[in-house]
Structures are given as structure tokens and as C-alpha cells.
Amino acid sequence: MPEADRDLLVAAAWLHDIGYAPELRDTGFHPLDGARHLESLGAPARLVRLVAHHSGAVYEAEQRGLSAELAVYEREDSPVLDALILADMTTGPAGQSFDFDTRIDEILVRYEPGSEVHNAISKARPYLKAAVSRTLDRMAHQPM
């Protein structure tokens, strides 16, 4: 990760699920609710966009009929978003460390087949796996 983006990545990792907070719930779609809250606080636009688009949010927005609302926040296809996806897709809900496939399977077990999350994660799996692979490749090729 370029040094200039490291603090942004850490902030996005800490804040990406803030939209789950009951007092911030508006649409019930946590990436959008979190992004809107951060935007209302004057958070940097790039941080807001990363929270809005973490972990393939576009797939779940489609399932929920919220694509237009999410599209207000431009998605950046970047090493920072890829690294945020890696962090989210290798960490369980209680902070457990998982490999990618185990984490995806854990999500699919937690959410009922046919639910928005189950459907979205199933569709997003190739996109998420590619982001994780790109990040691991970048990490493997960085000089120590």
C-alpha cells in the first residue's frame, strides 16, 4: 500500500461497518447508511466512498433496489478498495482470522438462502476473490 493511502485504509477498515449501528439505520443497507453518516460528519469523500463500496456493496444494493442511491458514491477500483475487501473477507464477525473461502462460507451459512445478503455474496464471490488475489499478489511482490 502506498504510504499516502495507509491511514485511509486503516480508517476505512475501522469504519466500514458503522452503518450497522441501530441509530444510523435508515435504509437498512449498512454500506449506504454508514457512508451517509460519515458524509454528514464531513468525513473525507474518499473515505465515504470506500465505506459505501466495501466488499462488493454494489451487488447487495442491486438485490435491495438501492443501486441508484449507492451510485451517488463513485466506486474507485484501486489497491485501497482491494485491500479493504481483503481485510473484510478474511476476518469473521468476532474478529476471527479466516481464509477467503471459509469467510464466504461463513457468511452464506449466517444468511438464509434467498436473502439479499446470501444472493449478493453468491454473485459477488468472483469479484471479491479477484480483489483478495490482487492484494495478496501485491503483498507478495513488495520489497521487504
**Domain boundaries defined on the chain:** 3-140
pLDDT at 139: 93
With a cut of 70, say whether residue 103 has pLDDT above it: yes
Residues 27-75: tens digit of each pLDDT: 999 999 999 999 999 999 999 999 999 999 999 999 999 999 999 999 9
pTM as predicted? 0.94
Mapped onto helix, strand or coil, the DSSP state of residue 2 is coil
With a cut of 70, say whether residue 144 has pLDDT above it: no
Alpha-helical (H) ranges within the chain are 3-15, 30-40, 45-52, 57-64, 67-71, 79-88, 100-110, 116-140
